[in-house]
């Protein structure tokens, strides 16, 4: 009987010590979890390796893709140590979304275009969008977004290359075809732009689009004539002309050709290149404009 009581006492003491240890450690673990959660924001959603995501089947696959997409959008408001950390984490989440649903265009746009701004970020965005060229090759939007990122980076030749790829996809807007010439001009290669447009003439059937292509051909031809005159002036006088009027006075051209777009040509003193005030392409809006309220005029119609 005494041995049983002694044994009971030893077990009771052991249980009591374990219980006391739990009481002491729970507040510490709770504080640690709270600290880690604060540091991670809400980044507690696990992103499994690609091989695991590839094995998911059925309706759960699309549901999980939506979960990761929503998590990626919400990451914009999470706390991160740096902007680069935010972009890398967000792209990791969106990558999981597009691996589950390769046709989730909005995920490609958000991760590859919407959250990137600086040159390095734009390059990182294009790395993500390149994944879309493999996963969803039929969409014109993905190569267009890549091309526009290159345009913002300042690589107009690369931009023209991806605009060309975009223009070959089903449903691509017509401006992607003719705007490639503008990018060649921006890159300082008006002759490449002219060659492209002249080769495009036979494939354009829309009368309005054909009109714009012909205007751009005239526009580029004028700049090539002026640039050749500037180069002749430099060879003859070992300097740049003061302005385009000096090309006339030196009998290198009879007159400054009229800009068919009305912007006017000018000589850039820094680069020695002929340029035009005609605007460069702008980013296409992905959402329709809100209709004007009753009684309000259309701002674009007034211009």
| Rounded average pLDDT per 10-residue block, the chain, 303 residues | 50 60 55 46 56 70 86 82 89 89 92 92 94 90 94 91 92 83 85 88 82 90 95 95 95 94 89 78 40 40 37
Give me the pLDDT at residue 297, please: 42
DSSP annotation of 58 reads: S
| 47 neighbors 94 (Cβ within 8 angstroms) | no
DSSP annotation of 255 reads: S
Q: Which of 163, 99, 90 is nearest to 132 (CA)?
A: 99
| 185 neighbors 223 (Cβ within 8 angstroms) | yes
Task: Tell me the whole-structure pTM to 2 decimals.
Answer: 0.64
Q: Which of 163, 142, 135 is nearest to 65 (CA)?
A: 135
Alpha-carbon distance of 118 to 1, in angstroms, equals 81
Alpha-carbon distance of 41 to 111, in angstroms, equals 19
Give me the pLDDT at residue 35, please: 47
* Triad 205, 207, 212: Cα angle to 5°: 105
Alpha-carbon distance of 75 to 51, in angstroms, equals 24
Residues 6 or more apart in contact with residue 46 via CB below 8 angstroms: none
DSSP annotation of 98 reads: H
Alpha-carbon distance of 189 to 176, in angstroms, equals 18
C-alpha of 68 from chain center? 20
Give me the pLDDT at residue 201, please: 83
Give me the pLDDT at residue 61, please: 82
Q: Is 164 helix (H, G, I), strand (E, B) or coil?
A: helix
Count Cβ atoms within 10 A of the Cβ of residue 170 and give its class: 0-12 exposed, 13-18 middle, 19 or more buried. Answer: exposed
């Amino acid at each position: 009987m005494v041995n049983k009581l002694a044994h009971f006492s030893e077990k009771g003491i052991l249980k009591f010590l374990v219980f006391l240890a739990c009481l002491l450690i729970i507040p510490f673990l709770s504080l640690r979890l709270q600290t880690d959660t604060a540091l991670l924001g809400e980044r507690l959603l696990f992103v499994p390796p690609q091989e695991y995501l590839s094995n998911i089947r059925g309706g759960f696959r699309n549901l999980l893709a939506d979960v990761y997409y929503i998590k990626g959008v919400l990451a914009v408001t999470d706390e991160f140590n740096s902007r680069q950390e935010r972009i890398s984490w967000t792209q990791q989440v969106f990558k999981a979304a597009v691996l589950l649903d390769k046709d989730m265009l909005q995920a490609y746009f958000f991760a590859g275009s919407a959250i990137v701004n600086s040159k390095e970020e734009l390059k990182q965005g294009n790395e993500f969008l390149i994944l879309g060229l493999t996963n969803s090759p039929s969409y014109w939007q993905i190569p267009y977004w890549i091309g526009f990122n290159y345009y913002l980076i300042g690589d107009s030749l690369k931009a023209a290359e991806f605009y060309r790829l975009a223009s070959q996809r089903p449903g691509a807007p017509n401006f992607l075809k003719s705007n490639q010439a503008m990018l060649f001009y921006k890159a300082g290669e008006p002759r490449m732009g002219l060659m492209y447009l002249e080769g495009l003439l036979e494939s354009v059937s829309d009368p309005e689009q054909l009109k714009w292509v012909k205007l751009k051909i005239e526009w580029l031809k004028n700049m090539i004539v002026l640039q050749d005159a500037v180069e002749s002036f430099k060879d003859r006088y070992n300097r740049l002309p003061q302005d385009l009027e000096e090309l006339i006075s030196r009998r290198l051209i009879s007159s400054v050709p009229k800009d068919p777009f009305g912007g006017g040509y000018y000589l850039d003193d820094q680069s020695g290149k002929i340029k035009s005030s005609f605007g460069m392409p702008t980013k296409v809006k992905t959402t329709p404009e809100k209709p004007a309220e009753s009684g309000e005029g259309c701002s674009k119609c007034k211009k």
